[in-house]
Structure 1
Amino acid sequence: AKALRPDMKVICVQASMYPGMLAVLEGREAESGGASIAEGISVKTPGNLTRKVVKALVDEIVLVEEAHIERAITLFADVEKTIAEGAGAAGLAALLAHPEKFAGRRVGLILCGGNIDTRLLASVLTRALVREKRLARIRIIGDDRPGLLALVSKIIGDNGANIMEVAHNRIALDVPAKGAEFDILMETRDAQHTQDIIDALSRAGYPPRQN
C-alpha cells in the first residue's frame, strides 16, 4: 500500500501495557507486562526484523487502553457482526481512543485476526452491557413477607425489563431481623430505561440501591 501511495500514512497501534515498539523508536526503555486482551501484540521486546520494517514504513505509533480494545471488539460484534480478537480490533480501538487524530480523513482499518476464546468474548460483551447500563444489578431491602419478591418482579416486568438473576438474603447484618435483601440482575434497553425502572420501584416504596 505504501509503495502504491507514498503519501499514505501508516499508523501502528500498540496496547498501552506493551509499548515496546514505541519505546524503541523513541530510543528509550519501557516497562511492559500485564494481562492484555490484545494477546497477539503483547510483545515485551520487538524483534530486530520487525524493528526494521516499522522504522521504514510506519509514520506513527499510538497506544490504546484495554477499555478501548474491549469496546472495539464489542462494536465489531454488535455493528459489523464480525468476530475480532483484541489485537485484530486494535485499529478500531485507536479510532475510539484518538478521534481527533483521524477526523476528516479517509481511514482504512485492518482487522488482522479473530482468534478469541469464546469465554473471553462472552465476558467482553457482558461487560459492555454493564458499561451501557443495559445490564444492571440493584439491591432492594424490605420486609421478609410472602409476595414482596413477586410485587417487585411485576413492577420490573411491567416496565419492560427482563430479570436475569435473583439472590435472596435473609441473614445480612445490615438489615432488620424481620427484613431481607434482594439482589436483582436485570436486562434493560439502555441507561434511561434502567433509571425509569429505578424510579418506578421508588414510587412503589421500594427504592433500590445500584451495585
Structure 2
Amino acid sequence: MLTLDKIYHAAYVLKKIARKTDMIAAPLLNTESNIFLKTENLQVTGSFKVRGAYYKISQLSEEEKSKGVIASSAGNHAQGVALAAQENKIPCTICMPDGAPISKVEATKSYGAKVCLVKGAYDEAYEYACKLQKEKGYTFIHPFDDDEVIAGQGTVGLEILDQLPEVDVVLVPVGGGGLISGVAYAIKHLRPECKVYGVQSAGAPSMKESMEQHQMLTLDSVSTFADGIAVKHPGDLTYELVNQYVDGIVTVTDDETAAAVLALIERQKLIAEGAGAVAVAAAMYNKVDIKGKKTVCLLSGGNIDVNILSRVIARGLMMAGRSSTLTIALEDKPGQLQGVSEVISRCGGNVVSVHYSQADTNMRITSCYLHIGMETRDHAQVEQIKQELAKAGFNIVQTVNG
C-alpha cells in the first residue's frame, strides 16, 4: 500500500540518482496569480519518470532482477526504466508506440535498453509488453499503476512543500495518473488545505471522463501532440487515489498547450514537451480558480520532438495573436496593395506574405482577393489593424490566425 513513509523512503533512495529540481517564479504567465514552476523538465532523463522507475527497480528482489525488466512507455518512463536498469546492471526491454518521438526512442536505446516499436498508442504498447512479459518471464515495471512507482513520483510533492510551504494550488499533468496520485497523496497528508488539480489533453481525457462517470473508462482513441499523456485507460490504483485526493480534473486543447510551450520558451527560457506544458496552459487560460493564489505548475518533462517544435511554436504564435492572415476583397486596380500595407505599417504590424487570387467564381470579374500574412503583437493589435482597414474602405472577408 502507498504510505507517506514509503514516499519519504523513496526520497532517501532517490538522493543518489534524481535531481531536486528548481522551483522558479513565473509571474508573467498569469499576472492575476502568483505562478511558480516545478522544473521536472530539467530532471535526469528530462522528466519526473526516473523517480518512480528507479525506486521501483531498487525495491525488486534479486530473483526479480535476474529475470530482467520490461516496460511500456511513450518515451519518458522508458528512459527512466532504462537508466535505472543500467545503474543496476539489469537487462531491459521497452515497448514503445511506433509514433513515439525519435529523440525519445534513441535516448532510451542510449541507456542500453532493447526497444520494440508497437503500432498504435501507449495502450497497444502496454498490451504487447504484457504479452512479452508472460512469454519471457520478465519483471514488469508499470509506468503508473504501481505503489512503488507512485511513491517515487510522490517525492515531487515533498519537494514542492519544502520549496514553497505556503502553496495554495498545484496543477499536475495527468496521463495514467501516477504523478498526480503520488503528488496529491503527499500534499494532502502534509498540507490538506492545498488544492491539487489534474490537467489532461482535451484529446485524451480518460481520467477526467472516468471521474465524471464514476467508473473506469477506456477511450476508443486519443489525439494529441502531448504524447506523454496520451493514455486511453487510467490505472486502477491511480483512479482510486485521484478520486480520494484530487480536487478536480480539467482539460486544455492542443492549441492552448502550444501557446504554453511558446510562453515558456519566450518568458522563462525553458523547453517543455506537450505533456509537460499542460499545467501551464491550464494556468494561462484560467481553467481553475488561481486568482491571487500561490500556484505551482508542474513541468513534467522537456523531451519534445524537435521535428514538431517549429509547428508547435507556429501554433503558439497563432493562439497568442502573433501570426494571422487577412483576406480582403479589392477592386483589381493599381495602388490597392500599397494602401493596405500603409495601414498595417501605421498600426505597427509587419507584412510577411502577400498572395492575389483572381479566379474565385464568387467574385466580380473586376475584383480580386488579397491574402496578406502579418506578424503582430497580440489579438488587440490584429483588431486595431482590421478596424483601421475598414475605416480606409477595405472589405475584410476573412481573418485566419496562423
Question: Which bracket does the TM-score occupy, shorter chain normalised?
Answer: 0.7 to 0.9
Residues 7, 54 of structure 1: alpha-carbon distance in 2 compared, 3 angstrom cutoff: farther
Q: 2: distance between equivalents of 1:129 and 1:108?
A: 24
Q: 2: distance between equivalents of 1:29 and 1:56?
A: 14
Matches of residues 115-126 of structure 1 in structure 2 within 5 Å? 115-126=303-314
Name the count of aligned residue pairs: 208
Residue aligning to 1:72: 260
SS of match in other structure, 1:99: coil
Structure 2, unpaired ranges of 5+: 1-157, 159-185
Q: 2: distance between equivalents of 1:53 and 1:62?
A: 12
Residue aligning to 2:204: 18
**2:190 is the counterpart of 1:6:** yes
Q: 1: distance between equivalents of 2:330 and 2:202?
A: 46
Residue aligning to 2:365: 177
Residues 148, 114 of structure 1: alpha-carbon distance in 2 compared, 3 angstrom cutoff: same
CA contact (8 A) 1:198 1:207 kept: no
Residue aligning to 2:125: none
Cα deviations across residues 155-196 of structure 1 (Å, max 9, x unaligned)? 322332111111111222222212222111112223332233
Matches of residues 5-154 of structure 1 in structure 2 within 5 Å? 6-7=190-191, 11-21=197-207, 23=210, 26-31=214-219, 33-47=221-235, 51=237, 55=241, 59-60=245-246, 62-66=249-253, 67-95=255-283, 96-100=285-289, 102-103=290-291, 105-154=293-342
CA contact (8 A) 2:329 2:369 kept: yes
* 2:224 aligned partner, one-letter code: S
Q: 2: distance between equivalents of 1:38 and 1:70?
A: 10
Residues 126, 176 of structure 1: alpha-carbon distance in 2 compared, 3 angstrom cutoff: same
* 1:189 aligned partner, one-letter code: R
* 1:185 aligned partner, one-letter code: G
Superposed displacement of residue 39, structure 1: 0.9
Residues 180, 14 of structure 1: alpha-carbon distance in 2 compared, 3 angstrom cutoff: closer
Residue aligning to 2:85: none
Superposed displacement of residue 32, structure 1: 5.1
Q: 2: distance between equivalents of 1:52 and 1:140?
A: 53
Structure 1, unpaired ranges of 5+: none
CA contact (8 A) 2:218 2:233 kept: no
Q: 2: distance between equivalents of 1:14 and 1:156?
A: 39
SS of match in other structure, 1:108: strand
Residues 92, 152 of structure 1: alpha-carbon distance in 2 compared, 3 angstrom cutoff: closer
% identity of equivalent residues: 28
The structure where helix makes up a greater share of residues is 2
CA contact (8 A) 2:217 2:233 kept: no
SS of match in other structure, 1:208: strand
Q: Which moved more, 1:151-160 or 1:162-171?
A: 151-160
Residues 94, 112 of structure 1: alpha-carbon distance in 2 compared, 3 angstrom cutoff: same
SS of match in other structure, 2:219: coil
Residue aligning to 1:199: 387
Q: 1: distance between equivalents of 2:198 and 2:391?
A: 53
Residues 62, 168 of structure 1: alpha-carbon distance in 2 compared, 3 angstrom cutoff: same
Q: CA RMSD in A?
A: 3.2
Q: 2: distance between equivalents of 1:82 and 1:167?
A: 36
Q: 2: distance between equivalents of 1:143 and 1:121?
A: 40
Residues 185, 68 of structure 1: alpha-carbon distance in 2 compared, 3 angstrom cutoff: closer
SS of match in other structure, 1:107: strand
